[in-house]
Chains A and B, each alone.
Chain A
Amino acid sequence: MQISKYSDAKRTVVDNRLWAMKNSLVLEKNMCIVCDVCSKACPMEAVVLSSAGVDIDEKKCNLCEVCAYVCPTGAINIFSDKNKKEILRQSGGFPSFPKKLEIKVEKCPKDCVECEKACDMTTGGAIKVVSHKVIDVSEKCLRCVKCAEACPEGAIKVNPVFFGDIEINAEKCPTGCVECVDVCPTRAIKEKNGKVLLEKKYCVFCGACEVVCPAKDKGALVMKRNIMVSNGDGFSAIWTNALEKLTSTKSLAAAYNSINSEKLRKLALESQMVEEK
């Protein structure tokens, strides 16, 4: 096998190089927010997650594409030669997610850059006003609601992917610990007077805080995703696996029960790919 991996300051590449064809996974480190979404969704458990960052175990990785689909910032891409490899989605195995932002540009006042300013303060330029008719939204956008809040005309609609619960019990935090504040990509968590403060409405349930929290076992931070929003269902165990791991068995059951997945559920049960719930 000619699977190799190399890593530098910018990216990690898993390269499955066949003579004239190159299949690869490219992880852009500067875009990675070190959340846990890909690691949970990966069916091969090939993502090695640590507070230092995301690493891929090239011996396990199958280049099955799921991490590329779920990554909130588009930091991971899978290529087959120069093209994006999207067999899983094309075969109906994985759904797409709702468009990040829906912007009614016709409402935009001339010269208004409020959204851009609001975003700049947080995730660093995911939304860009090219002209008052053209507004670019990059993959970096995390679906926090800051631009929408800042828009004087209410022209922006944000479509979240995750819904859930999050709680920070500051009294349980180790004194002086601000790990979560440092990693929160949407600055939903702030520090005030040496205390950690959560603004729930900005939370996108990426889970980056959970990755670093040293006291999560003690209950300092509790995060639970309940629902994952997608455009329809994927017909594959990769999808159901991602659902189960990322949200809850409840929503998995919901997916199974949707008419579309009935056949899959039966097949999956038959072949013991999943256990009966």
Chain B
Amino acid sequence: MTNDDVRVGVFVCHCGRNIAATVDVHAVAEYAKTLPNVVYVKENIYTCAEPGQNEIKAGIKEHNLNRVVVAACSPKLHEPTFRECVAEAGLNKYLFEMVNIREHCSWVHMRDRENTMKKACDLVKSGVAKASRLKPLEDITVGVEKAAMVIGGGVAGCQAALDLGSMGFKTYLVEREPSIGGIMAQLDKTLPTLDCSICILGPKLVDTGKHKNIDLIANAEVKNVSGYVGNFDVEVEIKPRYVDDVKCNGCGACVDVCPVILPNKYDMNLKPRKAIYASFAQAVPLRFNIDVDRCTKCGLCMKACDKHAINFNQQPKTRNMRVGTIIVAVGCEPFDATRKKEYGYGKYENVINSMEFERIICASGPTGGELVRKDGSHAKKVAFIQCVGSRDEKVGNKYCSLYCCAASIKQAMLIKEHDPDAQVAIFYMDMRTHGKGYEDLYDRAREAGIMFIRGRPSEIKENSKNKNVVVVVENTLMNEIMEEEFDMAVLALGMQPTENAKRISTLLHIPADTSGFFMESHPKLKPVDTPIDGIYLAGASAQPRDIKDSVMSASAAAARAGIPMTAGKVSVEGITSVVDLSKCKVCGICAQRCPYGAITVDTQKNTTSVLGASCKGCGTCVADCPFGALEQNHFTDEQIFAQIDALLEEEPEKKIVSFNCNWCSYAGADLAGVSRFQYPANVRIIRVMCSGRVSKDMVLRAFEKGAGMVLVAPCHPADCHYISGNVWAKKRIDEQLRATLQKSGVEPRRLRFFYISAAEGLIYANLINEMNKELQENLEKWKGQKLVRAGAKKVEAKPA
């Protein structure tokens, strides 16, 4: 089998004790020496550290290696590191293959050393088999449009736009509401210094509005996004205001005459506005809007407007632009307190939420800043209830919203500032005042006589006589149940993702985590990048954040977005599809599969072509080409078949072959590893970029080789990193292949199709446990089922 031209070097990592504690690294290294094409094997304590990398470079030089395999952690962590390392030693970076014996092996089978060993060896064998067949590839370089888009104009969005604009990039800032400002514009004072929110935000909004590089598009939504890093084509729909932006000079004469009084959303519906209105006094842009749904069309505003700016004929407008990068700053949304029935929000008039409190205590609010109840009396005794909609599994929000402990202290201090005699109590589970200066605020609050009572209230009742609220709580420090009457209760709302986060997520193909916030590319090292190149996160759209953190993340995102725009070009991985025109029959199936329009089928000229820069490398077209005319670079049929064969050489009937997509289930399995969720060691994972790449033949090949079970694990239906790869995988594998298996004498149960997200490590571990149980029960029966196939596509795993 040995091919003289191929010289593979294998580097096996101890990762300190992370791998070595469970896997006998030395034995794996010895085993690697026996594999075909392997000419050099080396153990490293930390392959990724500089000495380890130097050993790789030395190996390449001294042993003339032309393929490198590193058996260590997940390629999602260090593949880029090692690719760079081999490139520095003069090797094409695609002649490198990574074997995951940490997340997928040592960390998840800690109690079964024997089988863990077998697995580690198998994985190395599979890696070597693939490496032997690797071909050098070149990255594709594409130009980057020197313009950016920021979606969402809260404090984070404004900061990001200002930073980008000041770097000199044309920046489009798209805001859904008629004015920018977000939640911060609604706040009275900001913690920890209690300075006026709109006074510090207002100037920033004005700067944003008049910055020469910022094109502020308010009252608009992003409708469509296509393209890739450097070249996103965005379609924005601007909703009609029914007031001409250019003619309107913001005088407000129309407002006086409008007879329609409606609650103002900006004031949390506590203060009136007219059907024609500007969101708030400091709105940017300061333009008026007509709420057409509620307008009586009386026309009085038309009469009042000297500028003839009112135009009921306005239609939605569409603008198209090309940008190089996108920053998502759509923020978050306070929790809907009516969901916590036990607190009586919406039922009892003196239970209000923290956003309403901000408006009531604000001098420009409905009561001119007086803490007045609905019945007009002053509230003298106020309770704050923490963690409403946070740290609460019952409502589905397990996380801490971070800002609300400090925000409630701030609000309590504001009450004391207005009325030193007022009594204020804060009911909390834990006080979390994590930020700079926050603990000082907490101290000052205690000095000011604010009471802190530990315990999550179980209920709020109403005293029907005076409409006071009665808080029922177990004081966990005193170990007593108490019922205390207050004039008013304020619910400290948690933050949750905005209701349109899902839409943005599908539009931009950026995944969200289990709580619905957008996911970072890496929670620590790439906290403002999304998994999609060229798209970044700012502010509370990624997680609950206070203003300072929102602004910081916004500047970080702007800096990150500036990198490709400054460079003017980015390179796209060379793992694209290629057409073999000699086999292509120009049937057009591949073009239907491609969600990026990267494939052009020309029936006139009888050719098919793939545009490399647009191809993202999912491989869906390859798997569905009926003539085998397409191939995905770096994930060729030949390479993957070689992996399957290698993994199933010994005791195949006991093994589960798992095809995992790079973005979801592979990362999910990584998460199982990081979390040390244990599962049986007989599963063998083959990494593909997308489940769409898994062809029928791959599954059949595995059964042909006698695999006990096969699992194809895509992203959840709407989450595919390549938009629709998993849809085609489902059609092909889940819907069509079972019948074939049945006919060929293989029980369809042996094939599993199961969605696993990057966050579902535990579900993956449980699934393998469950599959293994079934496999053990049917071991003898299934062993006898031989796959018989006629006329299948023949791909031999030839040596390279």
Task: Give me the interface of A with B, judged by CB distance under 8 Å.
Answer: 1-2, 16-21, 23, 43-44, 62-66, 80, 85, 87-88, 91-93, 235-239, 263-264, 267-268, 270-273
From known contacts A16-B261, A21-B366, infer whether A91 and B272 are also in contact, taking CB-CB under 8 Å. Answer: no
- A18 adjacent to B313 (CB under 8 Å): no
Give the CA-CA distance A65 to B297 in the complex, in Å.
14
Closest chain-B Cβ to A118's Cβ sits at a distance in Å of: 38
Q: Which of A44, A62, A63, A237 contacts B299 (CB 8 A)?
A: A237
Give the CA-CA distance A95 to B303 in the complex, in Å.
15
Q: What are 29 A-B pairs at a CB distance below 8 A?
A: A1-B263, A2-B269, A16-B263, A18-B269, A18-B271, A19-B271, A19-B356, A19-B367, A20-B366, A21-B271, A23-B261, A23-B272, A43-B298, A66-B296, A88-B298, A88-B300, A91-B259, A93-B257, A235-B303, A236-B299, A237-B298, A264-B299, A264-B302, A264-B303, A267-B299, A267-B302, A271-B302, A272-B312, A273-B297
- A271 adjacent to B312 (CB under 8 Å): yes
Nearest B residue (CB) for A86 = B259
- Residues of chain B from 696 to 732 with CB closer than 8 A to chain A in the complex: none
- A88 adjacent to B259 (CB under 8 Å): yes
Nearest A residue (CB) for B313 = A271
A-B contact count (CB 8 A): 109
Give the CA-CA distance A267 to B305 in the complex, in Å.
11
- A63 adjacent to B261 (CB under 8 Å): yes
Q: Does residue B304 face the partner (Cβ distance < 8 Å to A)?
A: yes
Other A-B pairs beyond A23-B272, A236-B300, A271-B302, 6, CB < 8 Å: A16-B262, A16-B263, A20-B366, A43-B297, A62-B261, A235-B303
> Contact residue range for chain B?
20 to 34
Nearest A residue (CB) for B268 = A19
Hey, which chain A residues are within 8 Å of B275, CB to CB? Answer: 62
Give the CA-CA distance A236 to B296 in the complex, in Å.
10
Give the CA-CA distance A2 to B262 in the complex, in Å.
10
Nearest A residue (CB) for B311 = A271
Hey, which chain B residues are within 8 Å of A270, CB to CB? Answer: 313
Give the CA-CA distance A80 to B367 in the complex, in Å.
15
From known contacts A18-B263, A18-B271, A272-B313, infer whether A91 and B300 are also in contact, taking CB-CB under 8 Å. Answer: yes
Closest chain-A Cβ to B352's Cβ sits at a distance in Å of: 9
Nearest A residue (CB) for B304 = A91
Nearest A residue (CB) for B294 = A62
Closest chain-A Cβ to B404's Cβ sits at a distance in Å of: 22
Hey, which chain B residues are within 8 Å of A64, CB to CB? Answer: 259-260, 296, 298
Q: Which of B263, B271, B312, B367 contacts A273 (CB 8 A)?
A: B312
- Residues of chain B from 357 to 382 with CB closer than 8 A to chain A in the complex: 360, 366-367, 372, 374, 376
- Residues of chain B from 308 to 326 with CB closer than 8 A to chain A in the complex: 310-313
Hey, which chain A residues are within 8 Å of B302, CB to CB? Answer: 264, 267, 271
Give the CA-CA distance A181 to B724 in the complex, in Å.
71
Q: Does residue B270 face the partner (Cβ distance < 8 Å to A)?
A: yes
- A43 adjacent to B299 (CB under 8 Å): no
Nearest B residue (CB) for A270 = B313
- A91 adjacent to B256 (CB under 8 Å): yes
Nearest B residue (CB) for A17 = B374
Hey, which chain A residues are within 8 Å of B312, CB to CB? Answer: 271-273
- B258 adjacent to A19 (CB under 8 Å): no
From known contacts A43-B298, A238-B296, infer whether A19 and B374 are also in contact, taking CB-CB under 8 Å. Answer: yes
Give the CA-CA distance A19 to B353 in the complex, in Å.
13
Give the CA-CA distance A91 to B303 in the complex, in Å.
10
Per CB-CB distance, the 3 closest pairs between chain A and chain B, nearest first, are: A91-B257, A19-B270, A271-B312
Give the CA-CA distance A80 to B272 in the complex, in Å.
11
Closest chain-B Cβ to A269's Cβ sits at a distance in Å of: 11
- A19 adjacent to B360 (CB under 8 Å): yes
Give the CA-CA distance A108 to B310 in the complex, in Å.
54
Interface 1/0 per residue, B231-268 and A, CB below 8 Å: 00000000000000000000000001111111100000
Q: Which of B256, B297, B311, B366 contacts A19 (CB 8 A)?
A: B366
- A238 adjacent to B257 (CB under 8 Å): no
- Residues of chain B from 785 to 799 with CB closer than 8 A to chain A in the complex: none
Q: Which of B257, B299, B376 contacts A20 (CB 8 A)?
A: B376
Nearest A residue (CB) for B295 = A62
- A271 adjacent to B310 (CB under 8 Å): yes
Give the CA-CA distance A92 to B272 in the complex, in Å.
22
Give the CA-CA distance A88 to B299 in the complex, in Å.
11
Give the CA-CA distance A44 to B260 in the complex, in Å.
11
Q: Which of B298, B313, B360 contacts A238 (CB 8 A)?
A: B298
Give the CA-CA distance A16 to B374 in the complex, in Å.
13
Give the CA-CA distance A19 to B261 in the complex, in Å.
14
Nearest A residue (CB) for B264 = A18
Closest chain-B Cβ to A9's Cβ sits at a distance in Å of: 23
- B299 adjacent to A268 (CB under 8 Å): yes
Hey, which chain A residues are within 8 Å of B257, CB to CB? Answer: 87, 91, 93
- A1 adjacent to B269 (CB under 8 Å): yes
From known contacts A1-B269, A19-B360, infer whether A63 and B260 are also in contact, taking CB-CB under 8 Å. Answer: yes
Hey, which chain A residues are within 8 Å of B269, CB to CB? Answer: 1-2, 18
Give the CA-CA distance A263 to B360 in the complex, in Å.
42
- B272 adjacent to A87 (CB under 8 Å): no
Closest chain-A Cβ to B37's Cβ sits at a distance in Å of: 72
Give the CA-CA distance A271 to B301 in the complex, in Å.
13
- Residues of chain B from 519 to 564 with CB closer than 8 A to chain A in the complex: none
- A235 adjacent to B366 (CB under 8 Å): no
Nearest A residue (CB) for B274 = A87
Hey, which chain A residues are within 8 Å of B372, CB to CB? Answer: 19-20
Hey, which chain B residues are within 8 Å of A272, CB to CB? Answer: 312-313
Give the CA-CA distance A238 to B259 in the complex, in Å.
10
Give the CA-CA distance A236 to B260 in the complex, in Å.
13
- A18 adjacent to B259 (CB under 8 Å): no
Give the CA-CA distance A264 to B302 in the complex, in Å.
8
- B310 adjacent to A44 (CB under 8 Å): no
Give the CA-CA distance A93 to B262 in the complex, in Å.
19
Nearest A residue (CB) for B257 = A91
Give the CA-CA distance A264 to B366 in the complex, in Å.
35
Hey, which chain B residues are within 8 Å of A65, CB to CB? Answer: 259
Closest chain-A Cβ to B363's Cβ sits at a distance in Å of: 14
Give the CA-CA distance A43 to B259 in the complex, in Å.
12
